[in-house]
A = this chain, B = another copy of it.
Amino acid sequence: MKGFQIFRRASTAIRNRATPSKLLIVLTFGAAGGAFLAISDDSPFRSLTAGESGNDGGKKKKLVVLGTGWGGTTFLKNLKTSAYDVHVVSPHNYFTFTPLLPSVTNGTVEARSIVEPIRNIVRNKPYNVEFKEAECYRIDPVNKKVYCRSIQNLGHGENEFALDYDVLVIAMGARVNTFNTPGVEEHAHFLKEVDDAQKLRRSIIDCYERASLPTISEEEKKRIMHFVVVGGGPTGVEYAAELHDFASQDLASLYPSLKDYLKITLLEAGNHILPMFHKKVTDFANEKFQKDQIDVKTGSMVVKVSDKDISTKNRATGQIEAIPYGVVLWSTGIATRPVIAEFMEKIGQAGRRVMAIDEWLKVQGCDDVYALGDCASIDVGDFKEFVKDIYERYPQVRKYLEKNKLKNFEALLRNAQGDSQKKIDIEALKKALSEVDSQVSFLPPTAQVASQQGKYLAACFNKAGRCEKKPEGPFRFQENAGRYPFHPFSYKHSGQFAPLGGEQAAVQFPGDWVSIGHASQGLWYTVYASKLVTWRTKVLVVSDWFRRFTFGRDSSHL
């Protein structure tokens, strides 16, 4: 059948096109980013250039990537050198577009629409790649090995294996921070993975069905229909808003008898919800939630979660209250994974809260290991120590800076080389440094940061050979040591969204330019559609939005 052959060929042609040109409008926000100074004195990419030998037929270096989240996936997507045999280890054989997880919990978007098999993403890359669906449980930096465990329970010694590495990229993300609150692990829902979202969705429908049974008392019905969100950050706020929309737009007409029992509460330990946003956004969100009858309780610290009650402590009065609930979502921030904590001990980072990496994303105190995303944080401690050290050991530097009113260290360096006569006072320098410091400290654990780091690191790997010969980075501090091979990582903040339900959203751009309302929600749709990793996920998510608009959200208990 000729017609069928054409159909088949067309299908194959479409599917084999690796990166089709953008189907949707892509908005890019140009924005000011912080530029960091280079401090470390060893060459951070020493190991990379050696790997280039792969190009001329030598044995390729073994690059192991741990994790397929934003950091790991963006790194793999942008890696364009054939110098490595790449091994990817992750408990998920797919990448998840996490900003849409709250949408999955309520069926606005399908789970399968926001994931992409990692094998699909790395198909047709110049490097060899093998994926292993496993969890890394130990990193041995001395013998350069990672120890992994299959997520399937295989037994018979088939479960665990070790991988050697020449270069290691850690992009394992972080775990949920329960602040050791009793009962959270057992009873609360989280929202980090796709299956978290699916479980949460099922639990909500569970509650509706349970409350519809004839055996349930009035009091019990009230408890079951009380949904509590802990944490007033963007995820918690978005989830509360999405849940409200789901309940009022879709479930209310299917479960009319339960309409009056529904209650949504948002608990926040601090004084404001959305603390990282402009006051205008917080105020708007508060107002909208009041109108939507979402109960926002600030200054409310959760001290315990049991199977039916959540106990909160009022930070002002110290009063403890037990609130009956049906479902609780815990969304309060992140903490270091045990495997990373153990690794940090081994490399002399025992006391730290987060694993320290330098400005080139190399793990401090460990060769050939890079880290990015939520599992690591660029450390400026060294920088401050360094400056203090200079002032102590060379008081003349301080005086020199004061006297010459130099603008910054780069100017100082340029000045030392005699190509500038600009001036600065020491207070301005301090201020400049503290700004850098605060910006670095607040580099948020977001998809934006992780994916920019992944892209940056891949670019460094790609140009390692060229940059070794012709370095493009800043000057080293030692005299006549030349330049670093690369520019340090520099984060460009594009702005942040806070969807608030009812087709409204807040967006805050760099420079605190804020926009709130339906137009921002439209922008949200456009940006997220454009940011989706593959053409497939773009089309799927956009058609999910269309489906939701046309038919509402599904309430089947799947």
Residues of A within 8 A of B (CB): 1, 4, 7-8, 11, 14-15, 92-94, 107, 110-112, 115-117, 119-120, 123, 130-134, 150, 152, 154, 157-161, 163, 194-195, 198, 205-206, 209-210, 212-216, 220, 253-255, 503, 517-519, 535-536, 539-540, 543, 547, 549-552, 554-558
Contacts of A213 in B (CB 8 A): 132-134, 150, 154, 158, 161
With both chains docked as a complex, state the minimum distance between the C-beta of A111 and any C-beta of chain B, in angstroms. 6
With A550-B15, A558-B115 as contacts: A210 and B131 at CB distance below 8 Å: no
Q: Which of B133, B216, B518, B549 contacts A209 (CB 8 A)?
A: B133
Q: Are the C-beta atoms of A254 and B123 separated by less than 8 Å?
A: yes
Contacts of A107 in B (CB 8 A): 112
Q: Are the C-beta atoms of B209 and A558 separated by less than 8 Å?
A: no
Complex CA distance for A132 and B210, rounded to whole angstroms? 9
Complex CA distance for A555 and B116, rounded to whole angstroms? 8
Q: Are the C-beta atoms of B133 and A1 separated by less than 8 Å?
A: no
Contacts of A517 in B (CB 8 A): 1
Contacts of A551 in B (CB 8 A): 14-15, 535-536, 539-540
Which of A150, A161, A220, A255 has the most chain B CB atoms closer than 10 A to its own CB? A150
With both chains docked as a complex, state the minimum distance between the C-beta of A489 and any C-beta of chain B, in angstroms. 30
Contacts of A255 in B (CB 8 A): 119
Subset of 13 A-B contacts with CB under 8 Å: A1-B518, A8-B503, A93-B556, A111-B558, A120-B254, A123-B253, A130-B212, A131-B212, A154-B210, A194-B558, A198-B558, A536-B551, A539-B547
Contacts of A154 in B (CB 8 A): 210, 213, 215
Complex CA distance for A198 and B15, rounded to whole angstroms? 24
With both chains docked as a complex, state the minimum distance between the C-beta of A429 and any C-beta of chain B, in angstroms. 48
With A206-B152, A213-B132 as contacts: A558 and B112 at CB distance below 8 Å: yes
Q: Which residue of B lies closest to A210 (CB)?
A: B152
A-B complex: 9 closest residue pairs judged by Cβ atoms: A94-B556, A133-B209, A119-B254, A536-B551, A115-B556, A158-B215, A4-B518, A93-B557, A117-B555
Q: Which residue of B lies closest to A555 (CB)?
A: B117
Q: Are the C-beta atoms of A556 and B4 separated by less than 8 Å?
A: no
Q: Are the C-beta atoms of B554 and A112 separated by less than 8 Å?
A: yes
Q: Are the C-beta atoms of A161 and B214 separated by less than 8 Å?
A: yes
Complex CA distance for A161 and B216, rounded to whole angstroms? 10
With both chains docked as a complex, state the minimum distance between the C-beta of A8 and any C-beta of chain B, in angstroms. 7
With both chains docked as a complex, state the minimum distance between the C-beta of A212 and any C-beta of chain B, in angstroms. 7
Q: Which residue of B lies closest to A160 (CB)?
A: B215
Q: Which residue of B lies closest to A551 (CB)?
A: B536
Q: Are the C-beta atoms of B158 and A117 separated by less than 8 Å?
A: no
Q: Are the C-beta atoms of A93 and B209 separated by less than 8 Å?
A: yes
With both chains docked as a complex, state the minimum distance between the C-beta of A341 and any C-beta of chain B, in angstroms. 26
Contacts of A163 in B (CB 8 A): 214
Complex CA distance for A11 and B250, rounded to whole angstroms? 12
Complex CA distance for A500 and B521, rounded to whole angstroms? 46
Q: Are the C-beta atoms of B94 and A557 separated by less than 8 Å?
A: yes
Complex CA distance for A157 and B15, rounded to whole angstroms? 55
With A205-B93, A503-B4 as contacts: A556 and B132 at CB distance below 8 Å: no
Q: Which residue of B lies closest to A194 (CB)?
A: B558
With A93-B205, A213-B158 as contacts: A117 and B1 at CB distance below 8 Å: no
Complex CA distance for A20 and B539, rounded to whole angstroms? 26
Contacts of A205 in B (CB 8 A): 93
Contacts of A92 in B (CB 8 A): 556-557
Contacts of A11 in B (CB 8 A): 549-550
With both chains docked as a complex, state the minimum distance between the C-beta of A160 and any C-beta of chain B, in angstroms. 7
Contacts of A210 in B (CB 8 A): 133, 150, 152, 154
Q: Which residue of B lies closest to A536 (CB)?
A: B551
Complex CA distance for A213 and B153, rounded to whole angstroms? 13
Contacts of A117 in B (CB 8 A): 254, 554-556
Which of A7, A120, A194, A556 has the most chain B CB atoms closer than 10 A to its own CB? A556
Q: Are the C-beta atoms of A556 and B116 separated by less than 8 Å?
A: yes
Q: Which residue of B lies closest to A1 (CB)?
A: B518
Complex CA distance for A10 and B130, rounded to whole angstroms? 49
